[in-house]
Structure 1
Amino acid sequence: MSETQVASSRRRGSFLRFNPKVFALAVIASLLLGALLGWVADSTGAEWLVTTLDTVGSTFTKLLTFTVLPLIFTAIVVGITSLRTIGGGRTAARLGGKTALWFALTSLVSVLIGIGVASLLRPGQGVDITPDQQRVDEVSEMSGGSWLDLVQGLVPEHLVGAFAEGETLQVVFVSLLVGAAAYSLGDKAKPFVEFNKAVFEIIQRVLGWIIRLAPLGTLGLIGNAVATYGNEFFTPLLKLTGATYLGCALVLFGLYPLLLWFVARVSPARFFGKAWTVLQFAFVSRSSGASLPLSRQAAVNLGVDRSYASFAVPLATTTKMDGCAAVYPAVGSLFIANLFGIEMGLVQYLTIVAVAVFGAIATAGVTGWFTMLTLTVGALDFPPAIIATGIAIAYAVDPIMDMMRTMTNVAGQITVPTVVARTEGILDDEVLNAPSSPLLVDGSPEDPEAGQSSREEPVLAKA
């Protein structure tokens, strides 16, 4: 192949690649264009335009809907069985257990903050979207039910029925049961686990293709919403964004500094001074994975033992996501409930807390805002149609929210290893109080005192 052909092929490949920045701009542009078209349809009474917008939006929602249940099942099964990779002696077990405990404790506080903020701001209130009023009434009735009603609704009469009838809560229960059984069988269940991994990857790929249609889906959903409900639809979205930022800010600048000061005896000013570069990168890139090399080096610069940082930070990158897996599922769940006029009871609030605390650990390696929000509203037994519609509407402003969520995630991924290192006596105060080692723009940290070449870091970035 000639150099010209190679260059042409590379250009085509670059064109076909998914560009997050271009995608975010496309979603925002679709949001504005959809609102404009909806306003035109509402002002002129153009029924054909309303129908077109509704068709585009509902088709996108249906595409999302059919991925919900298989995504939940495979994510939980794969996540539970992946916990086997943490082993490795008493010390590793103690460190792993203490790390998981702090993950759970901070997630607990974070989800309570999310619930508090969402209860105060009530995002989604003021617009009542009812795609299936009968099913919404059923869910509303269940919200005031007893624990006995909840337990009785957990167990499906048969496995296929849980999927066929869209009983999300039953699918979650079955997933936990099957995942635990596969974990206990070890190597005997390896073929089944590998099959679920493959199915999960397939669903993720299909979902990726569907998500690329989000600009078109956003145009239809927002356009139809504006045409149907008028300008009042923007207030819930603004409240959703504001509640997410406020909840994450309370965790980022409130919870973490308190832990650092009172438990780790680390000055919050020193923490942010050494971690601010990676936090800025996380805000812009919207990727905990892409921030991993910088997050690990920031933890090392804070005095965390290098070997422990190499274990804890990558684990936290896939498991410790207080922005995406605690604050946002709480805010998002209440947003969807308010949007569809579903009253929440004590059982539902406790369910949100339980999913935030245990869900991220149960889905280690596959946790993300979409998976956790889906698991949360699924555990609340919201029907797939409401789940997909609510998530699709929230997706219109997701790029804006995701920046703050990711920044919070990464801060927690550095904070918890720092806290655990202090409690285990493996936090080096000399390194902590020393000037920061520079974090290079390409993500490769310089750490000459460690005796390791920065060329090793890109390997970590690929992991």
Structure 2
Amino acid sequence: MSARVDAAGRQPFYKLLYVQVIVAIVLGFLLGWQAPEIAESPWVKALGEGFIKLIKMAIAPIIFCTVVSGISHIEDARKVGRVGLKALIYFEVVSTIALVIGLSVGNFARPGDGFSGAGDAAAVATYAERAEKQSTVDFVLHIIPDSLVGAFADGEILQVLLIAILFGFALMVMGERGRSVRTLVDDMGHAFFGVIAVIMKAAPIGAFGAMAYTVGKYGPASLGNLLGLVLTFYITSALFIAVVLGIIARLAGFSLFRFLAYIKDEILLVAGTSSSESALPQLMEKLERLGCSKPVVGLVVPTGYSFNLDGTNIYLTLATLFIAQALGVELSLGDQLVILGVAMLTSKGASGVTGAGFVTLAATLAVVNPVLVPGMAIVLGIDKFMSECRALTNFIGNGVATIVVAAWEGELDREALANGLKRRIDTSNVEEAVGDLDGAIELENVGRHA
């Protein structure tokens, strides 16, 4: 057993996924910088978009299987409602903190003062039109799919989540008669996670394409006068993660920075693709191995991807204040309180896909003050540079939220949490992790008998 563990410890660094993703991101940046005409080609762009599409095609069935399995294995239906209620309370409290921080920093730093420049008004019209088409009532009604198959075909996560919850409760009511269906759903879930494992082999290629196209299209110096907003957003998000999420993690009994090291592969993948959905399946699997119960992971993570978007909330408030300052529109305290309320609603349902935050910004500005909507053209050019930070903050926030809710509900294996965060087990490989754990238990038992 010791030889096996040593062999795993001496694994060549170039075979580690996060090393491959880092190299791919650097190479993509260099290509976009030195050869933008090549980086902007449709084939390079397709590398990043194709990888995200591969991941997204498996997300709906994985969420369905995970949620159905989690609910159907719970004997008490009240427990599902209790977990969901606790998750929503956590989401609303932390989201409000993110919004307040964004407003506070925007008022203090005032990155939009003295701005002079123009944006792509025609491109903004596309986003604004999409935002105007969906009111709050439409959003609620949209959660109900026109058909069961349509929700999966369109990849509508909230619709799939609704179907999964109903199906899970139906299996719960069936009791013993639903055992065979529950087993089938469990096996399908494992199969789809296997599909994700195969797709992840192409993660460096996807990260390379996404980074090369971004830098090639906008250029390393394309931030221009908007660099202040980008830096403000990144610093604010970093402080939110380190301070707010750090304190929450400490209160829950674990180290945030150890957790970040535990999910470093997924963090780099999200950074390279600008999509938190690209790492959703891996996050759910790692959280289960970290000691969070399957029902909690199955309920909190998918729900958090629509209702717990800390990075998007910070972006909404900062970008709104930036646009108002750039256009010379003074927002009173009452106006800013309206921003809080409106952003709390419009941010719900914005997925981790690149560009969703910009659509949400359009909806927020249209409600707060229509005069600000044309100002979206100012930030369109740099939205891509901020989407990585939005996705990362959302992703990390949902991981922390799941552990907190699991601890709150008493569904957290503290020993597994400690082992995972201290790297006592190689969690990068499921079969090897299980084997090492079994081996460690066997060695411990031998020691006791000796």
**What is the letter of the counterpart of residue 326 of structure 2?**
L
Q: Of 339, 346, 351, which aligns to 1:352?
A: 339
Q: Give the one of 161, 172, 175 matched to 2:135.
A: 175
Following superposition, the deviation at residue 265 of structure 1 comes to 1.9
Q: Once the 2 structures are TM-superposed, how far is the Cα of residue 421 of structure 1 from its aligned partner?
A: 0.5
Distance across 2 between alignment mates of 1:259 and 1:122: 28
What CA deviation, in whole Å up to 9, does each residue of 1:9-47 have, x standing for no partner? xxxxxxxxxx9999977987899xxxxxxxxxxxxxxxx
* Contact kept? 1:121, 1:239, Cα under 8 Å: no
Say whether residues 1:120 and 2:108 are aligned partners: yes
Q: What secondary structure, in the 3-state scheme, does the structure 1 residue paired with 2:329 have?
A: coil
| Amino acid paired to 2:321 | L
Q: Which residue of 2 aligns with 1:106?
A: 94
Query: Contact (CA 8 Å) 1:295, 1:414: kept in 2 or not?
Result: yes
Q: What runs of 5+ residues in structure 2 fail to find an aligned partner?
A: 1-23, 37-62, 72-76, 120-124, 157-211, 438-450
Give the 3 Å change call, closer, same or farther, for CA 382–129 of structure 1 in structure 2.
farther
Letter in 2 for 1:369: G
- Residues in 1 aligned to 2:392 and 2:346: alpha-carbon distance in whole angstroms: 20
Alpha-carbon distance, 1:266 to partner: 1.9
Contact 1:321 1:409 in 2 (8 A): yes
Contact 1:304 1:428 in 2 (8 A): yes
Amino acid at match of 1:343: E
Tell me, yes or no, if structure 1 residue 250 matches structure 2 residue 261. Answer: no
- Equivalent residue runs for 1:215-254 within 5 Å: 234=224, 236-254=225-243
Letter in 1 for 2:242: F
Counterpart in 2 of 1:94?
82
Displacement of 1:293 in angstroms is 3.0
Residue equivalent to 1:287: 275
Q: Which amino acid aligns with 1:414?
A: G
CA distance in 1 between partners of 2:331 and 2:372 (Å):
18
Aligned to 2:400: 415
1:302 paired residue number:
290
1: distance between equivalents of 2:431 and 2:342? 35
1:259 lines up with 2:248 in the alignment:
yes
Per-residue deviation, 1:412: 0.5
For the residues of structure 2 that align with 1:214 and 1:271, how far apart are their CA atoms?
29
How far 1:363 sits from its partner (Å)?
A: 4.5
Q: Distance in 2 between matches of 1:431 and 1:182?
A: 39
Q: What RMSD, in angstroms, separates the aligned Cα atoms of the two structures?
A: 4.7
1:335-385 CA deviation, whole Å, 9 max, x = no partner?
Answer: 111221111122331232223433333446879322222222222233586
Does the alignment pair 1:448 with 2:437? no
More divergent stretch after superposition (355-364 vs 424-433): 355-364
CA contact under 8 A between 1:377 and 1:387: conserved in structure 2?
Answer: no
Amino acid at match of 1:372: T
Q: CA separation in 1, counterparts of 2:270 and 2:348?
A: 22
Q: 1:274 aligns with which of 233, 247, 262?
A: 262
Task: Give 1:238 deviation, angstroms.
Answer: 1.8
2:274 and 2:353 in contact (8 A); partners too: no
Q: Partners of 1:383 and 1:21 in 2: how far apart?
A: 40
- 1:408: how far off? 1.6
* Aligned-partner Cα distance in 1 for 2:142–2:301: 27
Percent identity reads 23
Residues 123 and 335 in structure 1, CA contact (< 8 A), matched pair in contact too:
yes
Please state if 1:403 is matched with 2:388: yes
SS in 2 for 1:291: helix
Alpha-carbon spacing, 1:167–1:244, altered in 2? closer, same or farther (3 Å): same
- 361, 364, 367: which one aligns with 1:379: 367
SS in structure 1 opposite 2:114? coil
Does the 8 Å contact 1:124/1:240 carry over to 2? yes
Contact 1:114 1:327 in 2 (8 A): yes
Classify 1:260/1:30 alpha carbon distance in 2 versus 1 (closer, same or farther; 3 Å): same
* SS of alignment partner, residue 406 of structure 1: helix
Aligned CA distance change for structure 1 residues 261 and 104 (closer, same or farther; 3 Å): same
2:207 paired residue number: none
Q: 1:359 to 1:178 in 2, by over 3 A?
A: closer
Q: Give TM-score, length-normalised by structure 2.
A: 0.57
1:331 equivalent in structure 2: 318
Q: Give the superposition deviation at 1:239.
A: 1.1
Q: Is the 8 Å Cα contact of residues 130 and 340 (structure 1) preserved in structure 2? A: no
**Any stretches of 5+ residues in structure 1 without a counterpart?**
1-18, 32-81, 132-162, 200-211, 223-232, 452-463
Judge conservation of contact 1:127–1:339 (CA < 8 Å) in 2. yes
Letter of the structure 2 residue corresponding to residue 251 of structure 1: F
Q: Distance in 2 between matches of 1:23 and 1:348?
A: 42
Other structure's SS at 1:344 match: coil
Q: Would the alpha carbon gap of residues 25 and 354 (structure 1) be closer, same or farther in structure 2, given more than 3 Å must change? A: farther
Contact 2:241–2:393 (CA under 8 A) maintained in structure 1: yes
290 and 180 in structure 1: CA distance in 2 versus 1, 3 angstrom threshold = closer
SS of 2:331's partner is coil
8 A Cα contact 1:168 1:379, kept in partner: no
Q: Which amino acid aligns with 2:236?
A: G
- When residues 430 and 20 of structure 1 are mapped into structure 2, their CA distance, relative to the original with a 3 A threshold, is closer
Partner-residue secondary structure (3-state), 2:253? coil
Structure 2 residue identity aligned to 1:243: T
CA distance in 1, matches of 2:142, 2:387: 33
For 1:72-83, what aligned pairs fall within 5 Å after superposition?
A: none
Q: CA 1:349–1:385 in 2, change beyond 3 Å: closer, same or farther? A: closer
Residues 391 and 257 of structure 1, relative CA distance in 2, 3 Å threshold: same
Q: Give the Cα–Cα distance (whole angstroms) in 1 for the partners of residues 265 and 359 of structure 2.
A: 28
TM-superposed deviation, 1:278: 2.9
Partner Cα separation in structure 2 for residue 285 and residue 214 of structure 1: 10
Tell me, yes or no, if structure 1 residue 428 matches structure 2 residue 417: no
Q: Give secondary structure in 2 for the equivalent of 1:342.
A: coil
- Counting only pairs closer than 5 Å after superposition, residues 146-165 of structure 1 correspond to structure 2 as none
What is the deviation of 1:438? 3.4
For 2:369 and 2:410, the matched residues in 1 are separated by: 44
In structure 1, distance between residues paired with 2:431 and 2:359:
31
Preserved contact between residue 108 and residue 356 of structure 1 (Cα < 8 Å): no
Give 2:107's aligned amino acid: S
* SS of alignment partner, residue 348 of structure 2: helix
- Supply the distance in 2 between the matched residues of 1:181 and 1:269 (Cα, whole angstroms): 40
Structure-2 change in CA distance of 1:255 and 1:130 (3 Å): same
Aligned partners of 2:130 and 2:359 also within 8 Å: no
